Chain A
């Protein structure tokens, strides 16, 4: 809905490249197809990468029977889940239960509308690109909550509560981290941000990158923040009662969100599609995969945090650091607008190290036993 109308507004603006054959509608159709194919392929690829990569890190092999190197494993999974019986629990709120996966899944795909695969190669070069991303991403939390509520299952409910709590808290440091990038780039359009990155912003905004990475992982519930489907506590969290097609949508959503966050990180901090020699889209895909691999890596290694620690981390650690980062960035831009980036890099790294040390010393995250 928003997508549509935003697009309409674009139709009247002049951001559209004039040399597209057939004009706007061709562009729209082409990129919709590209996005869906790209997102779904990457989702499949990510499932494969995660299972194989995690397998190798755990000294085993991972799926290798379905297709060459097990590449068809995600396809088999998808086919199988789609054909499984779809059960709606007797006590569930049927409409909410039915709608939840759709509400959760659609935003994950919609994010890709503003992600550039090359110079200007995107569905819609919105001026508010990054704001759009953040806004859309927050909708899927509602889908998750609907799932938790609609299943009338205590585990689902607990999982959904945790999910909501974490989304609400982590949105703030994430937005603040993005604000730093926006300040440096001077635009909210993702394409402009990429164009502004003569050196990747991970160097100029190291703290921002860290905050965004942690916050992003928490928002899409990747380990170590996968509290809402923490299988050792809540069996399967919010989708405990889902089977068949609807479960498939949640399953895809999880990875689609991971793709989305990886793509955003690659765009904001790693220079997006820019890079020497290889074609832009390949650079982009490689960077996305790289970011996702880091996620897999941390997931393999780290234990899960507790819910109060998760919240405390957001409010006591990430939030003040993000504020300070924003202020420092603003000062740097105002005071030395022409400063050489190569001088700022070590300064910012030093600031990051200092801040983390300071906060580690000063603040206690989470609390212990509650007297009952």
Chain B
């Protein structure tokens, strides 16, 4: 029961937050709505017993990404007016409708197999095993790490003073 109530609250908050991001003119407030949305998603993770994921969601998205977005907004002019409508309005609307269609189609047509097993406790160890254990995704993780390193090096090279 508690879980259901929590889910609905979080879902409503998350969607409201997402709508706020799209609809608010003031970019700063929009970014705050984004934070709210992230938090709601983290909450949903927690209700699904994926507490590690919830923690990481808050740490990475709220603590780092949202903060960086806000920092970027600082460098924007005329924050209160936000982005004004322009000629791309109609194409954008079309793309959005298209995207909505694709997502709905995907959701309606996938076969959702609901597991009867109780959630794993604790999730951290299971995650670690899945990633780094036998038959895990160790190669993918390593590749991701190398990619990130390359990206960092690239960034350093780009911003280095001549």
Direct A/B contact, Cβ within 8 angstroms = yes
How many residues on chain B are close to A (CB under 8 Å)? 41
Q: Given the complex, which residues of B lie within 8 Å of A11, measured CB to CB? A: 2
Query: Is there contact, CB below 8 Å, between A139 and B51?
Result: no
Inter-subunit contact B66/A142 (CB<8 Å): yes
Per-position 1/0 for A132-160, Cβ under 8 A of B: 10111011011001100100000001000
Q: Residue A87 at the B interface, CB < 8 A?
A: no
Please measure, in the bound complex, the distance between the C-alpha atom of A171 and the C-alpha atom of B67, giving whole angstroms: 12
B154 at the interface (CB under 8 A from A): no
* B63 interface hit (Cβ, 8 Å): yes
Chain A 306-332 near chain B by CB (<8 Å), digits 1 or 0: 000000000000000000000000000
Q: In chain B, residues 58-85, which have Cβ atoms closer than 8 Å to a Cβ of chain A?
A: 58-59, 62-64, 66-68, 70-71, 74
Cross-chain contact of A1 among B2, B43, B74 (Cβ < 8 A):
B43
In-complex Cβ contact of B28 among A14, A126, A149, A188 (8 A): A149
Q: In the complex the two chains form, what is the Cα distance from A287 to B58 in whole Å?
A: 29
For chain B, residues 1 to 54, give those with C-beta under 8 angstroms from any C-beta of chain A: 2-3, 6, 9-10, 13, 26, 28-29, 32, 35, 39-40, 42-44, 46-47, 49, 51-52, 54
Stretch with Cβ within 8 A of A (4 or more), from B100-108, B117-125, B136-144: B117-125
Residues of B within 8 A of A157 (CB): 74
* A328, chain B: closest CB distance, angstroms: 19
> Chain B interface secondary structure, helix, strand, loop or mixed?
helix
Question: Number of contacting residues on A, CB 8 A?
Answer: 38
B64 touches A171 (CB 8 A): yes
**Do B47 and A5 have beta carbons less than 8 Å apart?**
yes
Residue B56 at the chain A interface, CB threshold 8 Å: yes
> With A2-B46, A135-B55 given, is the CB distance from A8 to B2 under 8 Å?
yes
Contact A168 B56 (CB under 8 A): no
Contact, CB under 8 Å: B6 / A142: no
Q: Which 3 residue pairs are nearest across A and B when measured between Cβ atoms? A: A138-B63, A135-B58, A127-B122
Give me the interface of A with B, judged by CB distance under 8 Å. 1-2, 4-6, 8-9, 11-14, 93, 95-96, 126-128, 131-132, 134-136, 138-139, 141-142, 145-146, 149, 157, 161, 164-165, 167-168, 171, 175, 188
Known: A8-B3, A14-B121. 20 other contacts (CB 8 A): A1-B40, A2-B54, A8-B47, A9-B46, A9-B49, A12-B119, A93-B28, A95-B29, A127-B123, A127-B124, A128-B124, A134-B55, A135-B57, A135-B62, A138-B63, A139-B58, A142-B67, A145-B70, A157-B74, A168-B64
